[in-house]
Structure 1
Amino acid sequence: MDTKIWVVNNFDEQLESNPQIIEAAKLLSNNEVVAFPTETVYGLGANASSDEAVAKIFEAKGRPSDNPLIVHIAHSEQLTNIAVDIPEFVDVLIKEFWPGPLTLVLKKKNGAVGEKVTAGLETIAVRMPDHPIALALIKVANLPLAAPSANLSGKPSPTVAKHVITDLNGRISAIIDGGSTGVGLESTVLDCTADIPVILRPGGVTKEQLEAVIGQVSIDHSLFEEGQAPKSPGMKYTHYAPKSPLTVVFGSPQFLQRLVDKQKMAGLRVGVLATEETKDSYQADTTLVCGLRADLPSVASQLYDVLRTFDEKSVDIIYSESFPQDGVGQAIMNRLLKAAGNEVIHE
């Protein structure tokens, strides 16, 4: 397949009349698959109403078919076309966080989307992305778009177009290059069908932010348990993993360096994922800096790019620092532990 690659300016005030956006929308209307930027990561979009189109997402990604997809919309009014029995507190969330990195899980409207989108569940996950290209594309296509991250299944999610090209060039119809994404981690997924809303996946909107506007919010135990059927994207299988095995280290830089020394003595080349504050603490074969520990959003925005960069380095094993698990740190640690297959070492 010949994949078209278009560079589009995010700041173009006439995006809805941009010929490349119009051509991409036509591809979507013809049940083809197009990758596009959002504020979180690049998405792989297809017509959510067509099982034929959605099947192409699973094929391109090599994604298990029991993993549900998020539907992206451009107007809050579109929500009632695909969801029913919407609780009143959802209006508060929409006003506060949409467009933005918050996905709402609601009861689906029968026949509104293809069965492959929801993986047989009675619920549907919906969000409105906060990115001018994404919004323009959805509006011009006039379709709800099913759009998981635009990467091969299991690999780190793409935060720049070159990641998408590496994974999917020749496998999909088109890629819209809109530069780097902002948040760098996928959206928070919130189950709104329970009496108390439940976080199914931590992400760009934190538990603390949610509770500030709607009160109590809980966290699903499936985040910490293996082997359960996924109720949300990103809840099953090893995700975000670099090629070399990754271990998350809970301990001091001195303890992590001792682990590095032990592996180097065994003849292995060792990589370390560090922060700006601690990078000089390590004598590894490759040390990559992932933001500032004092600024966890900077870690979130760079995490996937750093994990992918390790694939370009000749390392046999990677050790990563751990991070505080509050605020956006909860999402960072969720992704790191997924990438590591829950391989951890404590001091």
Structure 2
Amino acid sequence: METKIFNTDQIAEAAAAIQAGQLVAFPTETVYGLGADATNEAAVKQVYLAKGRPSDNPLIVHVTGEETVKAFAQPLSDKAEALIKAFWPGPLTLIFALQPGKLSSAVTGGLNTAAFRNPDNAATLALIKAAGVPLVGPSANTSGKPSPTLAKHVYHDLNGKIAGILDDGPTKVGVESTVLDMSTDIPTILRPGGVTEEQLAAVIGTVQSSHHKVGKTEVPKAPGMKYKHYAPNAQVTIVDHEADWTAALQWASEQSGTIGVMAVDRILQAHNLPDNVEAFSLGHDLTSASHRLFAGLRHFDLESPVTGILAQGFTAEGLGAAYMNRLNKSAGQQHFTN
């Protein structure tokens, strides 16, 4: 199969491929997603095959608004309506209890709940409308690898495995959406993301964060809860404190291969980098670092291979919770110790 790059003037052609049961990657404000007709079980199963994704890892259903959600989910609560009004379209995924038989177990992982999102990207909203169906949309990468923030990242992983990629340039947010479970008594964050716990609480009151570890035989309710994620080829090591960078760079200088360094400009400019270090700027603050995190991991995979990566850590508060969630998973919880 030849994977075609669709530009934003070719949305009708991309939608026709979706309607024919094929897979088309699409842009969102967070990362690129791998799209298939959420009501076509055969197409959904092809998503798992293309990604090499475990079949008990549920998929997020992308919609153009709450009317589509109401066709599948149990009646929405007042809190759910308030969240939709406040954050959709945007980087917030909401899990709802389903009406019986409305979505295939290939979408839900066999659960009686499903995750829904209204992405903040005009091209993708136009694609969903043109296709006339909601789209499943896990990250458009090989399962376990860093999420794609550019069409070329998708092409690298999935060329020949999917029909096409709708290219709308780089994504804006860079880390995936917050996943909030609305099927529990107290709304529960299952994955931190672009909408923070504080922002959610300001709209609906108390929310809680799940620290539940999914067992080997347990089906996760949201992506990223059970399996290895975001890992580049080289081992990532997190440098938690600015004071540790002198020692970390000394360690890097003693390694035989090239070491990648991902940090904000202030840190990169404050140190004389060893000759065997290649720097990737995370910008100037946490917001830009969250935007550039996956791009940096992809850079050291695809454009400048290295034998190890040192990456800057941030305090896990607000957006930092999402950044550190992804970075810890990419590093396998490995932190630099001086």
TM superposition shift of 1:229: 4.0
Which position in structure 1 is the counterpart of 2:192? 202
Instruction: Tell me, yes or no, if the aligned pair for 1:257 and 1:282 is still in contact at 8 Å.
Output: no
Deviation at 1:127?
0.7
| Alignment deviations for residues 64-116 of structure 1 (CA, whole Å, 9 cap, x no partner) | 11111000111211111111142221000010001111000010122222211
Instruction: Note the 1:1-347 alignment, pairs <5 A.
Output: 1-8=1-8, 18=9, 20-222=10-212, 229-253=219-243, 255-280=244-269, 281=271, 283-284=273-274, 285-293=277-285, 296-311=286-301, 312-347=303-338
Per the normalisation by structure 2, the TM-score is: 0.94
Local SS of the residue matching 1:310: helix
CA distance in 2, matches of 1:37, 1:52: 23
1:11 aligned partner: none
Query: Cα distance, 1:252 vs. partner?
Result: 2.9
Distance in 2, matches of 1:274 and 1:162, equals 23
Task: Letter of the 1:75 partner, please give it.
Answer: G
- Aligned to 1:200, the other structure's residue is in SS state strand
Aligned residues of 2:109 and 2:219 also touching (Cα < 8 A): no
- Structure 2 Cα separation of the partners of residues 154 and 225 of structure 1: 17
Shift in Å, 1:230? 1.9
Q: Give the 3 Å change call, closer, same or farther, for CA 163–266 of structure 1 in structure 2.
A: closer
| Aligned-pair CA distance for 1:225 | 7.0
> How large is the Cα RMSD of the aligned pairs?
1.6
Aligned partner of residue 183 in structure 1, secondary structure:
coil
Contact 2:239 2:248 in 1 (8 A): no
CA distance in 1, matches of 2:113, 2:215: 21
* SS of residue matched to 2:336: strand
Question: What secondary structure sits across from 1:344 in the alignment?
Answer: coil
TM-score with structure 1 setting the length: 0.92
The structure-2 alpha-carbon separation of the partners of 1:248 and 1:282, relative to structure 1 and needing over 3 Å to count, comes to farther
1:32/1:53 contact within 8 Å kept: yes
Partners of 2:258 and 2:202 lie apart in 1 by: 46
The count of aligned residue pairs is 333
Question: Shift of the alpha carbon at 1:39?
Answer: 1.0
CA 1:24–1:140: 2 relative to 1, 3 Å: same
Deviation at 1:345, TM superposition (A): 2.9
Tell me the distance in 2 between the aligned counterparts of 1:282 and 1:86: 56
CA–CA distance in 2 between the matches of 1:30 and 1:91? 33
In 2, Cα distance between equivalents of 1:113 and 1:325: 35
Q: Once the two structures are superposed, what CA deviation does each residue of 1:288-322 show, in whole Å capped at 9, x if it has no partner? A: 111223xx221111111111111232421111111
Contact 2:6 2:14 in 1 (8 A): no
Contact 2:257 2:307 in 1 (8 A): yes
Unaligned runs of 5+ in 2: none
Cα separation, 1, equivalents of 2:87 and 2:261: 35
Post-superposition offset of 1:226: 7.2
Query: Conserved in 2, the CA contact under 8 Å of 1:251 and 1:346?
Result: no
- Post-superposition offset of 1:51: 1.5
CA distance in 2 between counterparts of 1:115 and 1:229 reads 12
Q: Which runs of 5+ in 1 are unaligned?
A: 9-17
SS in structure 1 of the partner of residue 266 of structure 2: coil
Kindly indicate whether the alpha-carbon contact (under 8 Å) linking 1:104 and 1:189 is maintained by their aligned counterparts in 2: yes
Q: Give the CA deviation at 1:263.
A: 4.5
| Paired AA for residue 251 in structure 2 | K
Q: What is the aligned-residue identity percentage? A: 48
CA distance in 1 between counterparts of 2:272 and 2:298 reads 20
Contact 2:38 / 2:136 at 8 angstroms: preserved in 1? Answer: yes
Task: Report the more deviating stretch, 239-248 or 106-115.
Answer: 106-115
The one-letter amino acid paired with 2:22 is E
CA distance in 2, matches of 1:30, 1:111: 23
- Give the deviation of 1:282 after TM superposition: 5.1
